Amino acid sequence: MRVLVSDASVLIELAKWSLLEALFKLPFEFAVPDALYEDELIDLGEVDREQLKGLGLRVEPLDAEGMARAVSYQTARPKLTLHDCLAVTLAVTNDWPLLTGDKRMRALAIDEHLEAHGVLWVIDRFAEHRIVRKPTLAKALRGMLDDPRTRLPHAEINKRLALLTTKQG
C-alpha cells in the first residue's frame, strides 16, 4: 500500500473538521516522523495520539544521516521548522509523497522531486473513494471558507463545493 508522509498541519486541519478518522479509511498508509508525533500532535480534538496509531498512523524514526539532512534543509530554509524538515526528510528518504499545508514545505518537496499534496487533495480522495458523504464534505469545506486560520485557496474550495452540491440527475 502506498505510504504518504504528513505534516502536522494536515492532520490538525482534518481533525478540526472531524475528518481525521476518515483519513485512515483511504487506500493509503500515513506516516509522520517520531519527533513530530511526540512534539506537535498534542491536541487533535476527538482523536488522541495513541488512537492515531491504532487507526494506522506509522511513526517513523530518522537515523543520524536523516537528522543531518533535516538540519541542512532547515539551515538552507530557515523559515521551515525542524519538524517541517523532518517530515520532508522522511518523505525524501523513502521516496514517499508528502502531505502538507505549508507552501514552503511543498516548494522544498518539489525541489527534491517529491510528489506533494494538501488538504484539498485529501478531500478529493474522500469523495473519489466515497469515504465521506458529500454533505459532510461540503459542510467541512464551508467551515474552511469561514475559518480565518484556514489558508486554503477560496477558489479551489468553491470549485469543490460546486461539484459536491450539484444534484446528480
Instruction: Read off the pLDDT of residues 42-79 as tens digits, 9 standing for 90 and up.
Output: 667 788 888 899 999 999 999 999 999 999 999 999 99
The terminus-to-terminus CA distance of the chain in angstroms comes to 35
Question: pLDDT category, 169, cuts 50, 70, 90?
Answer: very low
Question: pLDDT category, 149, cuts 50, 70, 90?
Answer: confident
Question: pLDDT category, 103, cuts 50, 70, 90?
Answer: very high
- Residues 3-119, CATH architecture: 3-Layer(aba) Sandwich (3.40)
pLDDT of residue 46: 80
Question: pLDDT category, 168, cuts 50, 70, 90?
Answer: low
DSSP conformational letter for 167: P
Task: Determine the average pLDDT of the residues in 133-149.
Answer: 94
If one counts every other C-beta atom within 10 angstroms of the C-beta of residue 167, the result is: 4
Q: Where are the domains of the chain?
A: 3-119, 130-165
